[in-house]
Amino acid sequence: MASATDFSEERLAEVVGHRFPGGTYRIERWENWLLTDCTGRERLPDGLVHPVALFHVPILGAGVTIAELFELLGARGAGSVGLLGYDWEYFSPLVEDVEYRIDGGVVSATRAIDDVGGVADAVAFEITLTTPDGELAARVTNRWVVRR
C-alpha cells in the first residue's frame, strides 16, 4: 500500500474535487425500525427517520464504499485511518420511503508532518441528500486522518 513517499502532496492535492458516482437512497420503514431499535429508542412519529441513519445512508447512496475511499486516499488499512470528526446538518426532516438524491466528494486535503517526521493527511468529504423536489435535506461532512 501507499507510504508517504508513494502518496505525494501532489497526489493528495489531486483528490480534492474528486466526485463520488452519486445515486439515490430510500430509507425503508423496516430499516428505520431497526436503526431506532438498536439505539433503544421509540420510533419517531410520522415516519421520521432516526438520525443515526446518517452514519451509513450517505456512503451507500453516494455510490462509494469505505474500501474505495481507502484506495482513493492511499490508506494502508483500517489502522492507518482515524476519524477527526463529522458534522450532520439537517435542513429538513428525513422521512421514510422518500427517494433522496445523494451526491458528494472530497472537499479538502492537507498534509502535516509532526516533530519526529510522522506524516498524516487530513481529508474531508461532504455528501448531500436532496429531496425529490430538489431541496437540500441534509449534509454530512466527514473528516479523516490518514497516517502515512
pLDDT 10s digits, 10-57 = 999 999 999 999 999 999 999 999 999 888 888 889 999 999 999 999
Does residue 2 form part of some domain? no
Q: Which domain holds residue 138?
A: 9-147
pLDDT more than 70, % of the chain: 97
Does residue 108 form part of some domain? yes
Give the span between the Cα atoms of 1 and 145, in whole angstroms. 16
Q: Give the pLDDT of residue 2.
A: 44
Does residue 123 form part of some domain? yes
Does residue 1 form part of some domain? no
pLDDT 10s digits, 121-135 = 999 999 999 999 999
Could you give the number of structural domains in the chain?
A: 1
Give the helix/strand (H/E) hosting 126. Answer: strand 119-130
Does residue 56 form part of some domain? yes
Check which CATH number belongs to the domain holding 77 and give it.
Answer: 3.10.129.10
Q: How confident is the model at residue 59 (pLDDT cuts 50, 70, 90)?
A: very high
Give the helix/strand (H/E) hosting 112. Answer: strand 99-113
Inter-residue contact 121 to 110 (CB < 8 Å): yes
Stretch 100-109: mean pLDDT: 98
| Cell 410520522 sits on residue | 46
Strand partners, 129: 102, 138
3 pLDDT exceeds 60? no
Does residue 18 form part of some domain? yes
pLDDT 10s digits, 60-69 = 999 999 999 9
Does residue 4 form part of some domain? no
72-76, 77-81, 123-127: segment of lowest average pLDDT: 77-81
Does residue 80 form part of some domain? yes
Q: How confident is the model at residue 115 (pLDDT cuts 50, 70, 90)?
A: confident
Inter-residue contact 144 to 81 (CB < 8 Å): yes
Residue type at 33 in one-letter notation: W
